[in-house]
A and B are shown apart, each in its own frame.
Chain A
Amino acid sequence: MRLRLEARPVPSRVYVWTAPLIAALATLAVGFVVFSAFGKNPLAAFDAFFIAPIATRYGVAELLLKASPLMLIATGLAIGYRANVWNIGAEGQLTLGAIAGGGVALAVGDALWPPVLLLPAMFVAGAAGGMLWAAIPAWLRTRFNANEILTSLMLVYVATLLLSWLVHGPWRDPEGYNFPQSKIFAANAMLPILLPETRLNAGFLLALAVVAIAWLFVRKHIVGFEMRVAGLSPGAANYAGISWRRNIWLGMLAGGACAGLAGVSEAAGPIGQLLPSMSPGYGFAAIIVAFVGRLHPAGIALASLLMSLLYLGGESAQVNLALPSAVTGLFQGTLLFFLLAADVLVNYRPRMVLA
Chain B
Amino acid sequence: MADTPTEAAPRLALRGITKRYPNVLANDGIDLDVLPGEIHAVLGENGAGKSTLMKIIYGVVEPDAGVMRWEGEPVRIDNPARARKLGIGMVFQHFSLFETLTVADNIRLALEPRQSRQLRQRIRDISTRYGLPLTPARRVHTMSVGERQRVEIVRCLLQRPRLLIMDEPTSVLTPQAAQRLFETLRTLASEGVSILYISHKLDEIRALCTRATVLRAGRVTGQCDPRRETTASLARMMIGGDLPHTVHREANAGAPALRVQRLDVPADDPFGTRLSGISFDVREGEILGIAGVSGNGQKELLAALSGERTLARADAIMIDSAPVAKLDAFARRKLGLAFIPEDRLGRGAVPEMNLADNGLLTARGDGNVAHGFIRERSVVAFAKRTIAAFGVKAGGPDAVARSLSGGNLQKFIVGREIGQRPKVLIAAQPTWGVDVGASAQIRQALIDLRERGVAVLVVSEELDELIEICDRLAVMTQGRLSPAKPVRETSAEEIGLLMAGATSGEITPTGTSAPARAEAR
Stretch at the interface among B186-194, B292-300, B355-363, B459-467: B355-363
Q: Complex Cα distance A223/B374, Å?
A: 9
Whether A241 and B351, one on each chain, are in contact in the complex, defined by CB atoms closer than 8 angstroms, is no
Whether B361 and A240, one on each chain, are in contact in the complex, defined by CB atoms closer than 8 angstroms, is yes
Given contacts A8-B22, A225-B357, A232-B351, A241 and B307 within 8 Å (CB-CB): yes
B349 at the interface (CB under 8 A from A): yes
Whether A229 and B400, one on each chain, are in contact in the complex, defined by CB atoms closer than 8 angstroms, is no
Whether A238 and B22, one on each chain, are in contact in the complex, defined by CB atoms closer than 8 angstroms, is no
Nearest-neighbor residue (CB-CB) of B348 within chain A: A239
CB distance from A28 to the nearest CB of B (A): 31
Q: Considering the complex, which residues of chain A in the window 219-238 have a beta carbon less than 8 Å from any beta carbon of chain B? A: 220-223, 225, 228-229, 232-233, 235-236, 238
CB distance from A44 to the nearest CB of B (A): 45
Given contacts A236-B349, A238-B329, A225 and B374 within 8 Å (CB-CB): yes
Give the dominant DSSP class at B's interface: mixed
CB distance from A84 to the nearest CB of B (A): 13
Q: Complex Cα distance A319/B348, Å?
A: 58
Q: Considering the complex, which residues of chain B in the window 207-223 have a beta carbon less than 8 Å from any beta carbon of chain A? A: none
A242 at the interface (CB under 8 A from B): yes
Whether A236 and B347, one on each chain, are in contact in the complex, defined by CB atoms closer than 8 angstroms, is yes
Q: Complex Cα distance A15/B173, Å?
A: 45
Given contacts A235-B346, A238-B329, A240-B361, A9 and B21 within 8 Å (CB-CB): yes
Nearest-neighbor residue (CB-CB) of B333 within chain A: A241
Nearest-neighbor residue (CB-CB) of B362 within chain A: A240
Interface string of B334-354 (1 = CB under 8 A from A): 000001010100111111110
B369: chain A residues at CB < 8 Å are 222
Nearest-neighbor residue (CB-CB) of A243 within chain B: B328
Whether B330 and A235, one on each chain, are in contact in the complex, defined by CB atoms closer than 8 angstroms, is no
Whether A236 and B350, one on each chain, are in contact in the complex, defined by CB atoms closer than 8 angstroms, is yes
Q: Complex Cα distance A239/B347, Å?
A: 6
Q: Complex Cα distance A316/B122, Å?
A: 70
Given contacts A229-B353, A233-B346, A239 and B329 within 8 Å (CB-CB): yes
A222: chain B residues at CB < 8 Å are 360, 364, 369, 372-374
Q: Complex Cα distance A240/B349, Å?
A: 9
Size bracket, chain A contacts: 20 to 34
Given contacts A9-B22, A233-B346, A220 and B361 within 8 Å (CB-CB): no
Q: Considering the complex, which residues of chain A in the window 234-272 have a beta carbon less than 8 Å from any beta carbon of chain B? A: 235-236, 238-243
Whether B374 and A240, one on each chain, are in contact in the complex, defined by CB atoms closer than 8 angstroms, is no
CB distance from B74 to the nearest CB of A (A): 17
A11 at the interface (CB under 8 A from B): yes
Q: Complex Cα distance A236/B353, Å?
A: 11
Nearest-neighbor residue (CB-CB) of B353 within chain A: A232
Whether A235 and B21, one on each chain, are in contact in the complex, defined by CB atoms closer than 8 angstroms, is no
Whether B331 and A241, one on each chain, are in contact in the complex, defined by CB atoms closer than 8 angstroms, is yes
B353: chain A residues at CB < 8 Å are 228-229, 232
Given contacts A222-B373, A223-B372, A239-B341, A10 and B308 within 8 Å (CB-CB): no
CB distance from B371 to the nearest CB of A (A): 10
Interface string of A202-233 (1 = CB under 8 A from B): 00000000000000000011110100110011
CB distance from A219 to the nearest CB of B (A): 8
B306 at the interface (CB under 8 A from A): yes
B150 at the interface (CB under 8 A from A): no
Q: Complex Cα distance A144/B372, Å?
A: 31
Whether B403 and A10, one on each chain, are in contact in the complex, defined by CB atoms closer than 8 angstroms, is yes
Q: Complex Cα distance A229/B374, Å?
A: 14
A241: chain B residues at CB < 8 Å are 307-308, 328-333
B362: chain A residues at CB < 8 Å are 239-240
B373: chain A residues at CB < 8 Å are 220-222
7 nearest CB pairs, A to B: A241-B330, A241-B329, A235-B347, A233-B350, A235-B346, A241-B328, A236-B350
Can you report 14 A-B residue pairs in the complex whose CB atoms are below 8 A from each other? Answer: A9-B22, A9-B403, A10-B400, A10-B402, A11-B400, A222-B360, A232-B352, A233-B352, A235-B346, A236-B361, A239-B341, A240-B361, A241-B332, A243-B330
Measured CB to CB, the residues of A under 8 A from B are: 8-11, 220-223, 225, 228-229, 232-233, 235-236, 238-243
Given A228-B353, A235-B343, A241-B328; 9 other pairs, CB 8 A cutoff? A222-B372, A222-B373, A232-B351, A232-B352, A233-B351, A236-B347, A239-B362, A240-B362, A243-B328
